[in-house]
Chains A and B, each alone.
Chain A
Amino acid sequence: MNDYIDLDALWRVMVASLVAGAGLAAVFSLALVGLSSGRPAGKVGAAACFLVVAAGIVLGLYVMLAK
């Protein structure tokens, strides 16, 4: 542990924000790919992706507010 940088908190922040920020953005993009494919499977996949994004947002709001 460093006195000036809380490395422990820092790497958690980095991992969490990469997963939530870049990861969920990618999942959202996949949903758009699914939607535009025109096939029923694509629509189902898109719906699943949107659900994942929504769940991520709810989880994010929950952990931020329930301090």
Chain B
Amino acid sequence: MDANTVLLAVVIVTALSFDFTNGFHDTANAMATSIATGALRPKVAVALSAVLNFAGAFLSLKVAATIATGIVDTGAITLTVVFAGLVGGLAWNLLTWYFGIPSSSSHALIGGVVGATLIAAGASAVKGAAVVSKVLVPAVLAPLAAILVATAGTYLVYALTKNVPEGTRGRGFRFGQIGSASLVSLAHGTNDAQKTMGIITLAMIANGTIGKDQGTPFWVIAACAIAISLGTYLGGWRVIRTLGKGLTEIETPQGFAAESSSAAVIFASSHFGFPLSTTHVCTGSVIGSGLGKRLAEVRWSVAARMVAAWLITLPAAAAVGAVAWAGANGIGGATGVSIVFVIGLLLAGALYMASRRKPVHAGNVNDEWTGRPAKVKESVA
């Protein structure tokens, strides 16, 4: 095995790891409300979402070229830049997971790639206007659009079913909520697994392993589908807790309205080519479902923390991406990339160990909200 093959292998493993964290970070988007309302038992919810993500990954007929196209100069993209970008995205995904903040995996990845490109090829290789129009503006609009749709939906749902007996109402919306959450999972698999497939394909083309016009090899599609669904099944319980319990207390009709809104906004934006982040949409929907029900409380301090995290996603991931590129490039070649990979692995392991001190899991994900993703002191057996 020569150095190039090693380099490509490390990039592919990193891309699949990113796909995995994308899965567990985003389980919350589809399933947090169903778990919070008790429509599905936690383990069943993540299993269902995992299966649908897997199916969704295979449904994508055309693999999106690459996530970074149009944002950085294609000429500036080398394997090392792709690798460093992935490391930046991974780092941000893990950190926000630890703090239980739903944040966009795509933005983290874009941030990582932008940071690596900035230091590798200079500011001229980054298309500033594209960053604003494709990343920053949608980041503001996505939650607002979802809030609007979910508020309207929640209001209508409550107004229309005012006189429906509790039994029919509860059962009906429980069913509807599971259905709409399933659509969100499917859409997630389709849209997000594609991004990783695109990156791996790009890396293989850059390395000359496959020709420019060749499609994505089947094993890449399968590997991405498996990685994202395994991640989803593992469940990012910390994020699920924040989204399901932290923002507002959700009842079944609200959960139904929120998921319908998320599914509609995601489908529409993907069809009309307006790049909205699934995470931002789902968070907006949950807030909207709180606003649409009279007297429901939205914890704006939790929402504000999320928005703050979204704002620093790009620069933070970019910083990690830049450092990762500098490290890998400074040492040089496959050795450099491998060393950075191992360092990243150790840091991720440390973060995982830290999370074990106050774990959030299927058993305590629905505990009463105490202001933090994990319960602070009161240790419940």
B160–A17 touching, CB < 8 Å: no
From A4, A5, A14, A19, name the one whose CB has the most chain B CB atoms within 10 angstroms: A14
Interface residue A47 (Cβ < 8 Å from any Cβ of B)? no
CB-defined contacts of B263 to chain A, threshold 8 Å: 20-21, 60
B176–A28 touching, CB < 8 Å: yes
Q: What is the distance, in angstroms, from B183's C-beta to the closest C-beta of chain A? A: 7
Q: What is the distance, in angstroms, from A64's C-beta to the closest C-beta of chain B? A: 5
Complex formed: what's the CA distance from A63 to B270 in Å? 9
Q: A13-B265, A32-B164, A33-B164 are in contact. Are A21 and B270 (CB under 8 A)?
A: no
A26–B271 touching, CB < 8 Å: no
Q: A9-B272, A13-B274, A21-B263 are in contact. Are A65 and B190 (CB under 8 A)?
A: yes
B133–A5 touching, CB < 8 Å: yes
Interface residue B257 (Cβ < 8 Å from any Cβ of A)? yes
Partner of B271, one of A24, A57, A67: A67
- Tell me what chain A mostly uses at the interface: helix, strand, loop, or mixed: helix
CB-defined contacts of A51 to chain B, threshold 8 Å: none
Interface residues of B in 135-185 (CB under 8 A from A): 137, 141, 145, 148-150, 152-153, 156-157, 160-161, 163-165, 168-169, 172-173, 176, 179, 183
B264–A4 touching, CB < 8 Å: no
How many residues of chain B get a CB closer than 8 Å to chain A's CBs? Answer: 49
A25–B148 touching, CB < 8 Å: no
Q: A21-B150, A35-B168 are in contact. Are A67 and B61 (CB under 8 A)?
A: yes
Interface residue A16 (Cβ < 8 Å from any Cβ of B)? yes
Complex formed: what's the CA distance from A6 to B261 in Å? 21
Residue in A closest to B265 when the chains form the complex, CB atoms: A17
B260–A13 touching, CB < 8 Å: no
Interface residue B268 (Cβ < 8 Å from any Cβ of A)? yes
Number of interchain pairs (Cβ within 8 Å): 138
CB-defined contacts of B62 to chain A, threshold 8 Å: 67
Interface residue A22 (Cβ < 8 Å from any Cβ of B)? yes
A4–B137 touching, CB < 8 Å: yes
Complex formed: what's the CA distance from A48 to B179 in Å? 18
Q: What is the distance, in angstroms, from A57's C-beta to the closest C-beta of chain B? A: 7
CB-defined contacts of A16 to chain B, threshold 8 Å: 264, 267-268, 271-272
Interface residue A18 (Cβ < 8 Å from any Cβ of B)? yes
Interface residue B227 (Cβ < 8 Å from any Cβ of A)? no
Residue in A closest to B273 when the chains form the complex, CB atoms: A9
A29–B160 touching, CB < 8 Å: yes
A12–B161 touching, CB < 8 Å: no
CB-defined contacts of B176 to chain A, threshold 8 Å: 25, 28
CB-defined contacts of A28 to chain B, threshold 8 Å: 157, 172, 176, 256, 260
A25–B172 touching, CB < 8 Å: no
From A18, A26, A64, name the one whose CB has the most chain B CB atoms within 10 angstroms: A64
Complex formed: what's the CA distance from A50 to B222 in Å? 35
Interface residue B303 (Cβ < 8 Å from any Cβ of A)? no
CB-defined contacts of B66 to chain A, threshold 8 Å: none
Interface residues of A in 1-56 (CB under 8 A from B): 3-6, 9-10, 12-14, 16-22, 24-26, 28-33, 35-36
List 15 A-B pairs, Cβ < 8 Å: A16-B267, A16-B268, A20-B260, A20-B268, A21-B152, A22-B156, A22-B261, A28-B176, A32-B169, A32-B172, A35-B168, A36-B163, A64-B187, A65-B61, A67-B62
Binding site for B on A (CB under 8 A): 3-6, 9-10, 12-14, 16-22, 24-26, 28-33, 35-36, 57, 60-61, 63-67
